Amino acid sequence: MNYFSSNFKLGILGGGQLGKMMLYDTRKFDIYTCVLDPSADAPSRLACDEFTIGDLLDYDTVINFGKQVDVLTFEIENVNVDALETLEKQGVKVFPSSKTLRTIQNKATQKLFYRDHNIPTADFSRFAYTSEIDEAIDHGGLSYPFVWKSARFGYDGTGVKVVRNLSDLTDLPNVECITEKLIPFKNELAVIVARNAQGDVKTYPVVEMEFHPEANQVEYVICPARIPDAIAKKAESVALKVAAEFKHVGLLAVEMFQTETDDILVNEVAPRPHNSGHYSIEASYTSQFEQQIRCILGLPLGNTESKVAGVMVNLVGAENHTGNVVYKNIENILAMDGVTPHIYGKKQTRPFRKMGHVTIVNKDIAVAREIAEQVKRTIEVISE
């Protein structure tokens, strides 16, 4: 099939920053793109060939959009899976598949999948409603501390809470959820696996994620992870097993814990480009976004090695700031060597909203990490 400068149409469900960054590469290859998003101001609107406003969870909207394209993908998990399944039956190629997304969309079914396929993960319990947790504690089936996770629609730290006592449960929504044993860990790691329909597979280097203590969001992604080779190999082999069991086509970001005893446990996965791979635009031979396009179109996979060490800093809205966004001191970080800001195009900021990221590249990972700290202290995402 001729994808380049042709009548071929690639459809993307979701027009957020991940879609926007994927469109850098469809532009490079002159691949015709159609994007569906509920917001008229979506970051992707300017970079695609056709932009449609519509609800990603509405069955008919997704069907009508999907019928017009040759290959359909998504940059967000909260889309109508029944519609994807119908489109597959009608001959539209959907990558990653509706089957994979259906399993991943719900954290309870995702965890059961790991258990059924002997993939190491933290012990967990499922609940139809949060209100049932009290009973499990009373009967000794569950003890503090544990992690509560909403089964659906959690992202960037929403839908996750560490529960240390009864009062921590009071404000939680009464929804289908899981509880997980709180794992003491040394590191949070991630591996992005790229796999095309022919079964060719490549992995990006293991990255280390440093989290913001309050927002439960990644503050720094460090590549390569500062861990022994043996641990990196173990993390990579677990990630490859997860992708193989899903028979995944596309990118699969596998987030993992390195425990105090150096076991590797899968935390969760994302079947799309992921925050842990943003560094790759500047630091890798092939960015994760170009790789996603190669995967879903069945093209040869690109080189996943890093050219240089990279650290990624998330730019999130400052606390107590809501309204029209201002990137304070951005000129100061542009003056630093190896520093590249990416602004996502969201006009309105609010506390902890992801507004952009900054990549810092350097031959020396320690130097890159120091500059990242400086970047973090310098730039502020505030409102007018």
Residue ranges for the known binding site for ATP are 107, 149, 180-183, 188, 267-268
Q: Which H or E run contains 84? A: helix 81-89
Tell me, what DSSP letter sits at residue 282? H
Task: Give the three-class secondary structure for 361.
Answer: strand
- The rounded distance, in Å, linking the Cα atoms of 382 and 380 is 6
C-alpha torsion angle, residues 2, 199, 281, 216 (rounded to 10) = 130
Taking a C-beta distance cutoff of 8 angstroms, is the pair 269, 255 a contact?
yes
Phi/psi of residue 94, nearest 5 degrees: -115, 120
Taking a C-beta distance cutoff of 8 angstroms, is the pair 247, 193 a contact?
no
Query: Quick one: tokens of 243?
Result: 């992708």
Query: Quick one: tokens of 148?
Result: 């509560």
Q: Which residues contact 167 (CB under 8 A, 6 or more apart)?
A: none
Taking a C-beta distance cutoff of 8 angstroms, is the pair 133, 179 a contact?
yes
Q: How far is CA 151 from CA 113, 120, 148, in A?
A: 14, 19, 9
- Binding site listing: 107, 149, 180-183, 188, 267-268
Residue 124: closest CA among 266, 269, 253: 266
Taking a C-beta distance cutoff of 8 angstroms, is the pair 46, 19 a contact?
no
Phi-psi region of 189 (alpha: psi -120 to 50; beta: other; left: phi over 0): beta
Q: How far is CA 241 from CA 110, 183, 209, 238, in A?
A: 14, 22, 21, 5
Residue 237: closest CA among 287, 269, 203: 203
